[in-house]
């Protein structure tokens, strides 16, 4: 992999993706082999927006590699409040670390910031933009469960506003995957995304009825339908209920269907699904560690 | 010690307690012997409420063992704000760490959370509930100063609402300790706690006058009397003044009386006590490190 | 260097300063030589006020030495809110760490706190008071660029309220430096500081016109002119514009003029200066790491 910065999943070729996922598999199988690999290396964490799982799993990943973190902390307790530009902040902080992770509310922030620094910078979410390590851990989880060849994946819920979904759908066009988009009509894929997938040679199969397509799926990727997208509560309830998964609704699915979710969930996956063998969303979150270890290892010099 | 999780001091037998305190003594005597003992191990910190000493001393303990922490950070900068259930949060975070420490405002939170995770979970305070590592460091401090056999301990201040006090009093029933409860009448032990101590075979000796009992004590454990418990300021002042300890009031005490306090203090122990040999509250806070080291060591596999 | 605590740049002799700067040069040249030097040592971070660069660079410095940090975190998520005195807080926290770094809004806080602790304490800024590691990294940056003998330094901007500037100017009296103070009349050095510099045998040369003095300078140290110091906006704009540096204004300067700034900047240095060889402010911020490494190393026992 020859990238200085990882700002978007779109910059990653199939070969890049496979290099990360292969390395992640190795690291997951034998983490102790790399326990001191990056001893002394520091990862700078710049989170301008709240985060639990992304920040904690980047921290865990760096520490599992033998390195450590230097954390800016919450914006309220940083001098960012004094009005410093993002470009200045990253130019200062690159002097404190060997690589940077940036989450920022503005789309394009990571791309812009990456132009000012010499150390590798990873985008950990830029508003409505990209969150490439989420996409990589999603791909990793799909591959571990169902493979990435000749596989049928349903993506369900809010397909209109879901950044995670757009990025995953685009990345999946690199593989021999049949993608099914399941949502109420009001929350279907934006025209732009649909066009984009067509351009990549992917057929966009849209569904409004989960039950009809569920039996054929190998993976079901569920996302939250947000209340605030609906003009009134009753309309929201009707739609949300229809796209909620519970243990009973899985009775028509393949035995080894993998149910995924980027988390946090509210009620789009009922708690009784947690006890089924289909539940893969916690494992998916946990996969953030080996995937981020792999990416950091490759960026910090994995060939040494 | 055979516990997966430490959610309450009440689950600990006399043997469990002594195992932790013995290990803590060893670690305090020779911390360098364990400096790399848990290298590579990660402790997940989930503090849903403010904390200085508990969080910092867990961090120090884990690092003194050669391990490291992965910190959720303040709730405001985590995605907990997005409405994720505690059960989901701990199930995600257990994938990032080898053990978890949880502080939460709701009584019972740690017990509930422990049912969802496979890694050891330690309760660092659950509202009006339990805070077992505080109890352990209190016991350790008492043992270091006066022993836990044939010893006379006074517990003074707010005995009605003080979680720390109830937990300590219960734990002390495992030992040959004479407990004296010193408080204004309005802040005496709740009936439930008194009954509980009777059940454990402990005699509950209550006092309203500190001076009368002070000369016979080996340990005096002071807690804060909170202003908000009183209907009017003048009533509070009268009571608080009576239960305040200063250097002069110690003149009637045994020379080696150990004065303890869970901290923070406001004015229930005057600053002139700090300079006396009786002051043990800062040492008590410092003991949080070897005690938490010992507990972590036992939970993470101290027999290896 | 024989100091237990570093609370003020004023306590440091020329020999002390040179010991720190010499050690910093060594560490900057070969950081790997000290990668495990302070393994197992813990630095307690007590930041009662927001900070990005100071806190992150102390963290990086300690970790680059093989040590680790124990962070109190933001005041809002600490029990400091419960009304504990600073003296009590530091006495508790010294039990968790081998050295402490304190930032506090009250002038004199670090000096006071240092009287209560046995471990070394470093002042990381106490309101309008001192920030000695900022002064040391400023001196280091000047020495690396222009030396500290027979050198001409301009200090420009808000000289009335700038803590950084007063401390640097005082420290420079230890060296063979010609100091030029460039500011609007309303923001000139306070009488007290001017008197202080005279006492140290330093000539105070004041200028209101940057262009006139710029050609003779080896170093130009720029600070921000704060809007809130002016009664009206138009007055502020006129002054701020006059004391703004851009690439064009540097055309009259020496080729190797080093432009410095304690950061964050707003618009007192235009972005086009960043691309010039004169820009030294990011390097200056980065120098915080080797300088703090050197200081920590000396305090924690650099002779071992």
Between residues 71 and 90 of chain A, which touch chain C (CB distance below 8 Å)?
71-74, 76-84, 88-89
Residue B154 near residue B180 (C-beta atoms within 8 A): yes
Cα angle C14, C19, C24; round to 5:
125
Residue of B nearest to C89 (CA): B264
Query: Residue B68 and residue A73: Cβ atoms within 8 Å?
Result: no
In a domain, C120, yes or no: yes
- Output the average pLDDT for chain B: 93
Active-site amino acid positions of B: 53-54, 82, 103, 131
* A91 interfacial to chain C (CB closer than 8 Å): yes
Among partner residues C73, C76, C96, which is closest to B60 by beta-carbon distance?
Answer: C96
Separation of alpha carbons B60 and B243, rounded Å = 34
Position B197 in a domain: yes
Q: Given C7, C37, C38, C54, which residue is catalytic?
A: C54
pLDDT, residue B161, reads 87
Q: Best mutation site among C39, C57, C59, C141 for testing chain A: the one with the most A CBs within 10 Å?
A: C59
Predicted confidence at residue C78, as pLDDT, reads 61
**What 3-state class would DSSP assign to C21?**
helix
* 3-state DSSP of C116-146: CCCCCEEEEEECCCCCHHHHHHHHHHHHHHH
Asked if residue C76 and residue C43 are part of one domain, the reply reads: yes
Asked if B157 and B243 touch (Cβ cutoff 8 Å), the reply is yes
> Does A131 belong to an annotated binding site?
yes
Question: What is the reported pLDDT for B303?
Answer: 46
Quickly tell me which residue has 């975070």 as its tokens.
B93
- pLDDT over 50 (residue A101): yes
Nearest-Cα residue of chain A relative to residue C32: A40
Q: List pLDDT tens digits, range B181-233.
A: 999 999 999 999 999 999 999 999 999 999 999 999 999 999 998 887 788 88
| Model pLDDT, residue A78 | 61
| A143 in catalytic set | no
Domain assignment of residue B4, yes or no:
no
- Say if C3 falls within a structural domain: no
**Residues of chain A neighbouring C53 (CB-CB closer than 8 A):** 79, 92-93
Residues 133-172 on B with a CB inside 8 Å of A are none
Sequence-distant (6+) residues with CB within 8 A of A103 are A46, A47, A48, A49, A51, A54, A55, A123, A124, A125, A126
Q: Which residues partner with A121 through β-bridges? A: A100
The percentage of residues in chain A with a pLDDT greater than 90, rounded to a whole number, is: 81
Q: How far is B67 from chain A (nearest CA, A)?
A: 10
**In this structure, are B217 and B264 located in the same domain?**
yes
CA distance A274 to C213: 73
Q: Are residues A145 and A211 in the same domain?
A: yes
Residue B175 backbone class (left: φ over 0; alpha: ψ -120 to 50; beta: rest): beta
Same domain, C138 and C242: yes
Q: Does the beta-carbon distance from A264 to B44 stay under 8 Å? A: no
Are B72 and A56 an interchain contact pair (Cβ–Cβ within 8 Å)? yes
Judge whether C155 and C221 are in contact, CB under 8 Å.
yes
Same domain assignment for residues A35 and A124: yes
CB contact under 8 A, A50 and B84: no
In this structure, how many other beta carbons lie within 10 angstroms of the beta carbon of residue B3? 15
Chains that touch A (3 or more CB pairs under 8 A): B, C
Q: A202: which DSSP letter?
A: -
Instruction: Tell whether residue B276 is among the known ligand binding residues.
Output: no
* One domain, residues C50 and C140: no
The tokens of A13 are what?
A: 């070729």
Supply the pLDDT for residue C106: 94
Contact assignment for B84 to A265 by CB distance below 8 Å: yes
| Chain B residues with CB-CB distance to C95 below 8 A | 57, 282-283, 285-286, 288-289
Domain membership flag for residue A1: no
Residues 6+ apart with CB under 8 A from A204: A179, A181, A189, A194, A197, A198
**In the 8-state DSSP scheme, what is residue A6?**
B
Query: Which of B256, B242, B240, B249 is closest to B273 using CA atoms?
Result: B249
Residue in C closest to A93 by C-alpha: C53
Q: What is the DSSP letter of C289?
A: H
Is there a single domain that holds both residue A153 and residue A181? Answer: yes
User: Which residues from chain A sit within 8 angstroms of residue C266, using beta carbons?
Assistant: 83
Q: What is the dihedral of CA B82, B87, B92, B98, to 10 degrees?
A: 140
Q: What number of residues does chain B have? A: 304
Round to whole Å and give the CA distance between C271 and A154.
48
d(CA A236, CA A210): 17
Task: Compare all CA atoms of chain A with the CA of B85 and give the residue at the minimum distance.
Answer: A266
Instruction: Determine contact, residues B25/B141, Cβ cutoff 8 Å.
Output: no
Give pLDDT, residue A23.
Answer: 96
Instruction: Render pLDDT for B119-165 as a digit per residue (tens, 0 to 9).
Output: 999 999 998 889 999 999 999 999 999 999 999 999 999 999 888 99
C246: domain CATH number?
Answer: 3.40.50.1370
Split at pLDDT 50, 70, 90, the class of A52 is confident
Nearest to A42 among C60, C73, C285 (CB): C60
Judge if C110 and C168 occupy the same domain. Answer: no
Residue C54 among the catalytic residues: yes
**Torsion of the alpha carbons at C46, C52, C58 and C63, rounded to the nearest 10:** 110
- Name which of A70, A79, A96 is nearest C264 (Cβ-Cβ): A79
Is A37 annotated to bind ligand?
Answer: no
Give the neighbours of chain C: at least 3 Cβ pairs within 8 Å.
Answer: A, B
Shortest CA gap A300–chain B (Å)? 19
C33–A contact, CB cutoff 8 A? no
Gyration radius of chain B's alpha carbons? 20
CB of B186 less than 8 A from some CB of C:
no
What's the CA gap between A126 and A104, in Å, rounded? 5
Is B218 in the same domain as B294? no
Whether residue B278 sits in one domain with residue B184? yes
Report the C-alpha gap between C282 and A104 in whole angstroms. 22
Q: Pinpoint the alpha helices (H) of C173-274.
A: 191-199, 210-213, 233-242
- Annotated catalytic residue, options C3, C53, C207, C254: C53
pLDDT computed for residue C79 by the predictor: 59
Q: How far apart are CA B205 and CA B215, in angstroms?
A: 15
CA distance linking residue C186 with residue C226, whole number of Å: 12
pLDDT class of A1 with cuts at 50, 70, 90: low
pLDDT of residue C10: 93
**pLDDT < 70 positions in chain C:** 1-2, 77-82, 302-304
DSSP A130: -
Please count the structural domains in chain A.
2
**Which residue from C38, C180, C163 is spatially nearest to C97, judged by alpha carbons?**
C38
User: What gap in Å lies between CA C16 and CA B297, rounded to an integer?
Assistant: 42
Question: How many CB atoms neighbour CB C258 within 10 A?
Answer: 25
A222 lies in a domain?
A: yes
| CA pair distance A272, A274, nearest whole angstrom | 5
Residue B138 sits in the same domain as residue B278: yes
Asked if C96 and B282 come within 8 Å (Cβ–Cβ), the reply is no
Confirm if B288 and B57 have CB atoms less than 8 A apart. Answer: yes
Residue A103 annotated as lining a ligand binding site = yes
pLDDT of residue A3: 80
Residues B208, B281, single domain; the answer is yes
| Angle CA A155–A158–A163, to nearest 5 | 85
| CA–CA separation, B105 and B80 (whole Å) | 14
For B51, the 3-state DSSP assignment is coil
Domain holding C221, by residue range, is 133-285
- Please choose, from the candidates B18, B55, B10, the residue with its C-alpha nearest in 3D space to the C-alpha of residue B175: B18
**Quick one: closest CA in C to A97, which residue?**
C60
> What pLDDT score does B168 carry?
97
> C234 vs B288, which has greater pLDDT?
B288
CB spacing of B52 vs C95 below 8 angstroms: no
Nearest to A125 by CA among A108, A103, A151, A157: A103
Token readout for C158 is 């808000």
Give a yes or no: residue C180 inside a domain.
yes
pLDDT greater than 80 at residue A102: yes
Q: How many other C-beta atoms can be found within 10 angstroms of the C-beta atom of residue B67?
A: 25
- Convert C218-242 to b/e letters by CB count within 10 Å (16 or more is b): bbbbbbbbeeeebeeeeebeebbee
Contacts of B86 in chain A (CB under 8 A): none
Q: Are A211 and A252 contacting, i.e. CB atoms less than 8 angstroms apart?
A: yes
Task: Tell me how far apart the alpha carbons of residues A135 and A295 are, in angstroms, rounded to a whole number.
Answer: 12
Does C304 contact chain B (CB < 8 Å)?
no
Contact across the interface for C95 and B55, Cβ inside 8 Å: no
Residue in the block written with tokens 């921000």: C224
Return d(Cα C188, Cα C207) in angstroms, integer.
9
- Residue C216 domain-assigned? yes
Q: What is the pLDDT of residue C80?
A: 59
Band the pLDDT of A303: cuts 50, 70, 90. Answer: very low
- Among A177-181, A238-242, A258-262, B112-116, the minimum mean pLDDT is found in A238-242
* Nearest-CA distance A287 → chain B (Å): 8
Instruction: Name the residue facing C80 among B52, B283, B288 (closest C-beta).
Output: B52
Give B57-93 pLDDT, tens digit per residue: 999 999 999 999 999 998 876 656 567 899 999 999 9
Taking 3-state DSSP, the helix, strand and coil percentages for chain B, each rounded to the nearest 5, stand at 45, 15, 35
Helix ranges (DSSP H) in chain B:
14-29, 53-64, 86-93, 109-114, 132-146, 163-172, 191-199, 210-213, 233-242, 281-286, 288-301
Residue A263 known to bind ligand: yes
Confidence label for B243 from pLDDT (cuts 50, 70 and 90) = very high
Reading the block at residue C22, the tokens are 């010499």
Run of H or E residues at A63: helix A53-64
ipTM above 0.90, yes or no: yes
State the Cα–Cα distance between residues A249 and A272, nearest whole angstrom.
11
């Amino acid at each position: 992999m020859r990238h200085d910065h990882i700002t978007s999943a779109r910059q990653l070729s199939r070969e890049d993706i496979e290099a990360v996922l292969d390395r992640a598999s190795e690291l997951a199988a034998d983490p102790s082999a790399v326990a001191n690999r990056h001893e002394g290396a520091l990862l700078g964490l710049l989170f301008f927006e709240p985060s639990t799982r992304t920040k904690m799993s980047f921290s865990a990943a760096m520490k599992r590699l033998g390195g450590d973190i230097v954390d800016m902390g919450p914006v309220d307790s940083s001098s960012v409040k004094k009005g410093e530009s993002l470009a200045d902040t990253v130019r200062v902080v690159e002097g404190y670390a060997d690589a940077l992770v940036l989450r920022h509310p503005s789309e394009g922030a990571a791309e812009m910031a990456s132009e000012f620094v010499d150390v590798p910078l990873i985008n950990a979410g830029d508003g409505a933009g990209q969150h490439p390590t989420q996409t990589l851990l999603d791909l990793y989880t799909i591959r571990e469960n169902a493979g990435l060849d000749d596989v049928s994946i349903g993506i369900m819920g809010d397909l209109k506003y879901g950044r995670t979904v757009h990025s995953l759908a685009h990345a999946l066009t690199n593989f021999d995957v049949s993608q099914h988009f399941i949502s109420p009509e009001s929350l279907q894929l934006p025209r732009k995304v649909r066009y984009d997938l067509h351009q990549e040679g992917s057929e966009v199969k849209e569904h409004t009825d989960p039950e009809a397509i569920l039996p054929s799926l190998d993976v079901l990727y569920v996302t939250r339908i947000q209340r605030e997208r609906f003009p009134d509560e009753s309309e929201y309830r009707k739609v949300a209920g229809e796209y909620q998964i519970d243990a009973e609704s899985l009775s028509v699915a393949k035995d080894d269907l993998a149910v995924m979710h980027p988390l946090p969930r509210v009620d789009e996956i009922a708690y009784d699904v947690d006890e089924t063998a289909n539940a893969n969303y916690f494992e998916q979150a946990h996969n953030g560690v080996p995937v981020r270890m792999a990416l950091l290892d490759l960026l910090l010099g994995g060939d040494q």
